[in-house]
Amino acid sequence: MVCGADLAATPTPASPLQSDYFRGMQGVTEVCSECEFDPRTVGDNELGPELVRLAIGYEKVISDAVAEGCSALASRPSPDVWSILEYAGHVEFIVDFVAHMCEVAKEDELAAVNGVDPDEHVDESNFNSIDAAEMAGRIRNAGNRAQAALDRLEPAALGWMLAFNGNPAPLRLLTLAMVHESHHHLRDVSKLAAA
């Protein structure tokens, strides 16, 4: 249910110090063939505003789905496709994860951050029982928190390394992966709302 940028599901490489682990990952270091997200179009100062823009996009899709009585709003259209609220809940989590990474990143220390299995997280969170307006507000708030966390960083901080599931990567690359995943899923929910 997630695209190639789902970092939580990526296998650990043979060497946990493999700095080029993310090289060639669609939507992170090259254009995504599925959603056409181009990471080269998002500069360092645009990461936070892009997450807010995406959150606004989710708000609109949720609002439109409510207005249209979209059956996929709070019900899966098939067992292997999340509902709109499930996608939104997942994206709320990953956008909040950006704020978390900003808080734990250190200049001289390889802070560990760990992803979760997205399907398990969605299944356990019961996002379909959340009011649509509440979910829209939650995702907007997550975008604002992520932007505020990124704004508080000194410019060099985006180069600070984190150990994501044991794989060293700079904060900028990990944040860009979350921006891509949010972009990718906005395409997914837009298709569901239009169906």
- For 172, the enclosing helix (H) or strand (E) is helix 171-194
Q: CATH assignment of 43-194?
A: 1.20.120.450
pLDDT of residue 97: 94
Question: Is 108 or 48 the better-scoring residue by pLDDT?
Answer: 48
**Mean pLDDT, to the nearest integer, of 114-122?**
90
Per-residue pLDDT for 169 more than 50?
Answer: yes
